[in-house]
Structure 1
Amino acid sequence: MTLDAMFFAFAVPAVLFAAISKAGFGSGAAFASASILALILEPAQALGVMLPLLMLIDVASLRPYWRKWDWAATKLLILGAVPGILVAIWLYQVANADVFRFLIGAISLLFVGYQAAGAWGLMKPRQTPLGPVAGFISGIVAGFTSFVSHAGGPAVAIYMLSQGVSKTTYQATTVIVFWIVNILKFVPYAFLGIFTWNTLLADLILAPVALIGTWLGVRAHHMVPERLFFALTYTLLVVTGSKLIWDSLDHLWRA
Structure 2
Amino acid sequence: MTLLEQMTLFDDWPTLAAALTAVFLVGLSKGGLGGAFALLGVPILALVMPPVQAAALLLPILLMMDGVSLWTWRGWFDRATLVHLLPGAVLGIAIGGMAAAFTSEALVRLIVGVVALGFVARMALAPSGGTAQGQGRVRGGFWGTVAGFTSFVAHAGGPPFQVYVLPLRLDPKIYTGTSVIFFAVVNAIKVVPYAALGQFDRVTLVSAALMLPLAVVATLMGAAVVKRMRAEVFYPLMYVMVTLVGLKLVWDGVSALIIG
Shorter-chain TM-score range: 0.7 to 0.9
CA distance in 1, matches of 2:118, 2:46: 21
- Determine if contact 2:106/2:254 at 8 Å carries over to the other structure: yes
Answer yes or no: is 1:249 the counterpart of 2:242: no
Find 1:187's aligned residue among 167, 184, 192.
Answer: 192
Find 2:86's aligned residue among 71, 78, 88.
Answer: 78
CA distance in 2, matches of 1:241, 1:82: 25
Give the deviation of 1:154 after TM superposition.
1.6
Aligned to 1:50: 58
Answer yes or no: is 1:18 the counterpart of 2:26: yes
1:93-149 CA deviation, whole Å, 9 max, x = no partner?
A: 234xxx324534664565356445544659952443241111111110110111123
Give the deviation of 1:202 after TM superposition.
2.0
Mapping for residues 81-160 of structure 1, pairs under 5 Å: 81-95=89-103, 99-104=104-109, 107-108=112-113, 111=116, 114-115=119-120, 118-119=123-124, 125-160=130-165
Aligned to 1:217: 222
CA distance in 1, matches of 2:93, 2:240: 30
When residues 28 and 228 of structure 1 are mapped into structure 2, their CA distance, relative to the original with a 3 A threshold, is closer
Give the deviation of 1:184 after TM superposition.
0.6
Q: What TM-score do the two structures reach when normalised by structure 1? A: 0.82
When residues 73 and 36 of structure 1 are mapped into structure 2, their CA distance, relative to the original with a 3 A threshold, is same
CA distance in 1, matches of 2:192, 2:206: 18
- Determine if contact 1:32/1:236 at 8 Å carries over to the other structure: no
When residues 161 and 241 of structure 1 are mapped into structure 2, their CA distance, relative to the original with a 3 A threshold, is closer
Number of corresponding residues: 248
1:212-253 CA deviation, whole Å, 9 max, x = no partner?
A: 111111111134765679868865874686256424531x2x
What is the root-mean-square deviation in Å for CA atoms of aligned residues?
3.1
Find 1:7's aligned residue among 15, 21, 45.
Answer: 15
- Determine if contact 1:26/1:171 at 8 Å carries over to the other structure: no
CA distance in 2, matches of 1:220, 1:147: 28
Mapping for residues 60-79 of structure 1, pairs under 5 Å: 60-79=68-87
1:33-79 CA deviation, whole Å, 9 max, x = no partner?
A: 23333444333222211111111111001122212211121122111
- Determine if contact 1:76/1:132 at 8 Å carries over to the other structure: yes
- Determine if contact 2:93/2:152 at 8 Å carries over to the other structure: yes
CA distance in 1, matches of 2:249, 2:44: 6
Secondary structure in 1 matching 2:38: coil
CA distance in 2, matches of 1:15, 1:229: 20
CA distance in 1, matches of 2:73, 2:184: 12
What runs of 5+ residues in structure 2 fail to find an aligned partner?
1-7
Q: What TM-score do the two structures reach when normalised by structure 2? A: 0.80
Find 1:206's aligned residue among 208, 211, 220.
Answer: 211
